[in-house]
Amino acid sequence: MYNIKKITPANRLSFMKTMMIAGSLLTLTSCLKNDDDFTPQQVAAVSIFHASPGTPAFNFITDRGTGNGPFAFGQRTLYSLFSAGQRKVSIRKVGGTQDTLRTGTLNLEADKYYSVYVVDAAPNPNFLVIKDSLSSPAAGKAKIRFINLSPDAGNLSLTTGTDSVLFNATAYKTHTLFNEIPGNKNYAFKIKLNDTQKAIKENIEIKSGRIYTIWARGLDNTTNDTLKTSVQVSEHLSDF
């Protein structure tokens, strides 16, 4: 019997697709006149992030009528299943007139993982779509990558410990590849512009066997403390 907690990120999507197909077959067996009439549903896994400073809380809506949210700045979803193919999407303001803030198109390949970041400062949010490679780290290690999503902070570096550089001079809306670091340790992650520290997040537990994205969010030039450039750590997890 499967234990989903023991299934690695790299094969969990295939496992869930198999379970969906099995469930659909059980439901449809009595209705189908010919087994050839059944076409397994193609799915991708998508995680959504609100990384647009100043953009109000929104719901994320697809052309299939499914939605996620509401999202406030800095919030995200775990991976959830979306129908593969070309999907029209929109973000709609929560409450009031529920104005559409942005529309776009996602091209989702079957059996792939994606992170969708709503980026750029208000009033002009946009979509940044990243295909995630989630192969398991080596024993005793964790995987991390860095994304610079601070619109006005410059090319940022991610450091840890006594300013040991993990990722150097990363441009806005650019993501690094995943690198391995020792797991089951606590880290202090700093984002820096050259020698100037922009933000720090301390005492962050990084577990062996896990996969993380560390991202810079917010604005350098603002008096609103809730929108100031900061460090966010997101583990890659699914809700299935």
pLDDT digit string, tens, across residues 66-77: 788 999 999 999
Sequence-distant (6+) residues with CB within 8 A of 213 are: 115, 144, 145, 146, 147, 175, 233, 234, 236
Coil, helix or strand for 217? Answer: strand
Architecture of domain 136-240: Sandwich (2.60)
| Cβ neighbourhood burial of 79 (10 Å; 0-12, 13-18, 19+) | buried
| pLDDT score for 24 | 38
How is residue 110 written in tokens? 């079957």
| pLDDT score for 210 | 97
| pLDDT score for 90 | 97
- Spatial separation of the C-alpha atoms in residues 213 and 82, rounded to whole Å: 21
Q: Are strands 141-149 and 211-217 parallel, antiparallel or unpaired?
A: parallel
- Spatial separation of the C-alpha atoms in residues 108 and 163, rounded to whole Å: 38
CB 214 within 8 A of CB 158: yes
Sequence-distant (6+) residues with CB within 8 A of 162 are: none
Sequence-distant (6+) residues with CB within 8 A of 218 are: 53, 150, 199, 227, 228, 229, 230
State the chain's mean pLDDT as an integer. Answer: 87
CB 144 within 8 A of CB 206: yes
| pLDDT score for 6 | 38
| pLDDT score for 38 | 53
List of the chain residues with pLDDT < 70: 1-39
- Spatial separation of the C-alpha atoms in residues 136 and 238, rounded to whole Å: 15
> Domains of the chain: which residue ranges?
136-240
H or E element in which residue 5 lies: none
Count of alpha carbons within 13 Å of 226, Cβ hemisphere only?
9
| Cβ neighbourhood burial of 156 (10 Å; 0-12, 13-18, 19+) | buried
Nearest to 140 by CA among 188, 178, 181: 181
- Spatial separation of the C-alpha atoms in residues 129 and 237, rounded to whole Å: 17
